[in-house]
Amino acid sequence: MRLLFFCVDIFIPLHPDRKQKIMAYTKIEQYDPETTQKLAEHYYEILKLLGEDPQREGLLKTPERVAKAMQFMTYGYKIDPSDVLRSAIFEEEYRQMVIVKDIDFYSMCEHHMLPFFGKAHVAYIPNNKITGLSKIARVVEILSRRLQIQERLTTQIKDCIQEALQPLGVMVVIEAQHTCMQMRGVQKMHSITTTSDFTGIFNTQKTREEFINLIGR
């Protein structure tokens, strides 16, 4: 799947002697036709195995919709998050903690292929190199758009930032709700799972405590 984003300048005449410039934003989603077709065929058969009639009105386009949805929810396989970080690295002598907190994310549990979702909090202490703040959120987004478990997602975010930026330390905390625990199994609706991982200077308790205090946990 390819997601194309572009911005177009449009001139709309409001008066014969005057033009007003406005910006129009358009998002176009493109899905690989062969992959979509193959996935849709499988979902068609799944509906039949579940005892449904894929030919009834409400389900006619369901296999195709689910095929496209699954490609969107796993598009992270097609992108290297390290490249995203390296595209915006700047020399800077700042050596205090940089925190991007409350990053919303959605992912898919690899055990039951049900969603889990929550917030990620990421901190790093630069070693003469910083990256654009949005790139941290993009790393979370890319790695979460794969079949995941929360523990591995936490470590992958940490490792990606550590390898790309070579900071003095990285710490990641993720808080998430898992629908595989809410909709099935133990059915605990309000349980929250918290995971953390860290490197470098965050191995010291004082630095970890500063981070936890700053994110309000």
| Rg, C-alpha atoms of the chain | 22
Identify the active-site residue in 150, 156, 160, 162.
150
Q: Is the dihedral of CA 65, 70, 73, 74 positive or negative?
A: negative
Q: How far is CA 41 from the centre of its chain?
A: 27
- Catalytic annotation present for 7: no
**Residue (of 68, 72, 203, 213) closest to 144 by Cα position:** 72
Identify the active-site residue in 109, 141, 156, 162.
109
Identify the active-site residue in 29, 92, 110, 209.
110
Tokens at residue 119, please? 């917030």
- Catalytic annotation present for 93: no
Asked if 109 and 36 touch (Cβ cutoff 8 Å), the reply is no
216: left (phi over 0), alpha (psi -120 to 50) or beta: left
Identify the active-site residue in 111, 163, 166, 209.
111
CA distance 72 to 142: 11
- Catalytic annotation present for 96: no
- Catalytic annotation present for 150: yes
- Catalytic annotation present for 121: no
Identify the active-site residue in 52, 64, 175, 180.
180
Identify the active-site residue in 148, 156, 162, 178.
178
- Catalytic annotation present for 29: no
Identify the active-site residue in 112, 177, 182, 210.
112
Q: How far is CA 163 from the centre of its chain?
A: 19
Looking at residue 108, its amino acid is M
- Catalytic annotation present for 15: no
Residues with a known catalytic role: 109-112, 150, 178, 180
